[in-house]
Structure 1
Amino acid sequence: MRGFEFDQLRTFTVVAEAGSLSAAAPLLHLSQSTVSEQVRKLEERAGVPLFARSKRGVEPTPAGTRLLDHARRLVALNEAAFDELRGQAIKGELRVAITEYFRTNEVAGMLARLRECYPQLSLHICAMKSADIGLAQARGQIDLGVVMNLSSGAFRPAADSERWVLRREPIHWVAAAPLAERLPERLPLVLLPDDCMMHQAAVQSLEKSSVPYELVHSASGVAGLQSMLSAGLGVGCLSASAVSEGLVKLGAKYQLPALPEAVFSLTPPHPGERETVARAREVLARQLLV
């Protein structure tokens, strides 16, 4: 029989996102050995290696990257078909606000898959600061939000919101390669405005560690921040999935202070919300993971 097994494709997408077999196993509720076996069988069926392995984890090969786009779409369509047959398809209007830091290089494709899988759903998407998303939902201006919180590795959300956590990512100090080679003693910072929690975390960590710095540029959004950093205008900090091409992570040799973890979550249910919103939250909790 031609084609792939859906369980193997889903495992493949989660491993690609998690960056290692061990990190993917709890997300899939499988043992690491089972995850490894599913990946092995998928690679056998594909006839080519799908992951490059290293001590740091796994990364999709060129063939794996090509398959990943198909796999995400197939997994999403499979789940949408299951929802539709069970009478749980979502339809109607849905207003969603998303923090700009959430998977900046991938979120457009994810939203396109949602539209394809749920054609009766009219999505209205806007980008907002995490601090404003909760207020907008409370005022009835949006139905759902994807927010970012910063925390230490010991942080755990409240019990009623734990299930809505989409992903956790490290935050890295980053710069363009030429600047990273000759980093000034006084750190030239490029950040979003000072009401951004990432800005606050960066400045607080530098001051606590007595690292000299100066704010040389302020960007108006994450895309602008990525462009300024890629142009070599300074050093900034970005969550792992927002580190764009042309930027390098400033590792331990630079002796910069550790940054907190980014925790991305869906806003939890609130009393009296529409059934469409409740169903959409369940769907988004699955679809935004792959």
Structure 2
Amino acid sequence: MASPLDLDQLQTFIAIADSGSFTRAAEEVHRTQSAVSMQMRRLEERIGRPLFEKNGRVNRLSEDGEKLLAYARRMLRLNRETIAAFDERSLEGHVRIGTPDDYADRFLPEIMARFARSNPRVELSVICEPTVNLVEQVRRGLLDIALVTHDDEKGAGQVVRREPLLWVASSNHCVHEEDILPLAVGRPSCLWRRAAIDVLDRMERDYRILFTSWSATVIIASVLSGLAVSVLPECALRPGMRILGENDGFGVLPDCRIGLIRGQTTQPAIVEALARHVSESLDNISLPAAGDEAGFDFATPAPGRARHQRPGVLPVW
């Protein structure tokens, strides 16, 4: 019978993939760089496939390395959940998390399910409000942690996911062809609204803001009904939407960065555990591929735009 994979080796492998560096991974797992290199050689021998490939002066994850990474994350998560299930000293208490409804619908089911399984004694309070409100609530100590649209101007936060920000319209209407483009967007402080207007101004495209709302439900309804065009991150796409690209006369938007911000808390262990579950859950959630059965009308991606993935470029070891 084949021997099982070594969890310590897998943890080091994940640290390398996440940090993008053998040196930083060595610091994270408290090993020397030579020990980390030896672990990776042994892991490659156990798998029987090269996990890294040379590209000039750097190494990057090979195709088999990317494949192993997904399995490694699942194995480490299951290991932690198993230990927590039999740990009588497991975390107990109450934690407050906030997120806009744009992200709640797509991400919260996975986050809540995973966190509840690992921490059955922790009560989780969830608040759905716009990013600007959540940032203020974290600052005032009303929330312990928030999953928000990252904004450098609002202070430091941990970016846990990047997604393309996309122009969207109804796949059953041609509202995007109107001479004066009707828009459905968030309030003036919304980053996505500002990004859309900046692009339209550079294109010298006439537009009028037809609907303004903090509610993702309202924005999505206005798009699906064929009343307006909007901008949404890939996670917010719905069946019946059409993605508009440069071939439709729409310029490329900046990426949407999804981040975690944390406030002062009396329960740092619980907050740290929740932050880890959020990060791992978002990494584990994939998005519909172009042309799948979900009902999206995907245009050809703009040059240089890729779907969510972690960096795979690593220094020579």
TM-score tier by shorter-chain length is 0.5 to 0.7
Partner of 2:310: none
Aligned length: 241
Say whether 1:278 aligns with 2:305. Answer: no
Partner deviation per Cα, 1:219-240 (whole Å, 9 max, x = no partner): 4411221122112111100011
User: Structure 1 residues 220 and 138 mapped into 2: Cα distance closer, same or farther (>3 Å)?
Assistant: closer
SS in structure 2 at match of 1:165 = strand
**Gap regions ≥5 residues in structure 2:** 21-50, 54-59, 285-317
- Whether the 8 Å CA contact 2:211–2:219 is kept in 1: the answer is no
Say whether 1:183 aligns with 2:172. Answer: no
- Counterpart residue type for residue 251 of structure 2: P
Tell which deviates more after alignment, 113-122 or 280-289.
280-289
| TM-score between both structures, scaled by the size of structure 2 | 0.62
**In 2, Cα distance between the equivalents of 1:286 and 1:244?**
24
Partner of 1:141: 142
User: Structure 1 residues 257 and 76 mapped into 2: Cα distance closer, same or farther (>3 Å)?
Assistant: same
Offset, 1:114: 2.0
Say whether 1:224 aligns with 2:218. Answer: yes
- Whether the 8 Å CA contact 1:105–1:241 is kept in 2: the answer is yes
Tell which deviates more after alignment, 166-175 or 114-123.
114-123
| TM-score between both structures, scaled by the size of structure 1 | 0.67
**Gap regions ≥5 residues in structure 1:** 15-24, 43-67
Say whether 1:127 aligns with 2:109. Answer: no
Partner deviation per Cα, 1:51-90 (whole Å, 9 max, x = no partner): xxxxxxxxxxxxxxxxx9xx99887444323456789843
**Matches for 1:189-208 after TM superposition, within 5 Å:** 189-208=183-202
Partner deviation per Cα, 1:134-184 (whole Å, 9 max, x = no partner): 221121111111111258xxx9x95xx4xx321011100010113248721
**In 2, Cα distance between the equivalents of 1:94 and 1:256?**
42
**In 2, Cα distance between the equivalents of 1:282 and 1:267?**
12
- Counterpart residue type for residue 284 of structure 1: V
- Whether the 8 Å CA contact 1:95–1:143 is kept in 2: the answer is yes
- Whether the 8 Å CA contact 1:150–1:261 is kept in 2: the answer is no
CA RMSD, 1 decimal: 3.9
**In 2, Cα distance between the equivalents of 1:272 and 1:257?**
46
Say whether 1:94 aligns with 2:95. Answer: yes
Offset, 1:93: 0.4
Partner deviation per Cα, 1:217-264 (whole Å, 9 max, x = no partner): 234411221122112111100011111111111011122232222111
Partner deviation per Cα, 1:118-140 (whole Å, 9 max, x = no partner): 21111001112212222211211
Offset, 1:97: 0.5
Say whether 1:37 aligns with 2:64. Answer: yes
- Whether the 8 Å CA contact 1:170–1:261 is kept in 2: the answer is yes
Between the two structures, name the one with larger relative contact order (CA 8 Å, sep ≥ 6): 2
**Matches for 1:161-180 after TM superposition, within 5 Å:** 161=157, 164-180=158-174
Identity over the aligned pairs, expressed in percent? Answer: 20
SS in structure 1 at match of 2:164 = strand
- Whether the 8 Å CA contact 1:130–1:147 is kept in 2: the answer is yes
Partner deviation per Cα, 1:5-46 (whole Å, 9 max, x = no partner): 899xx9xxx9xxxxxxxxxx944966478652267799xxxx
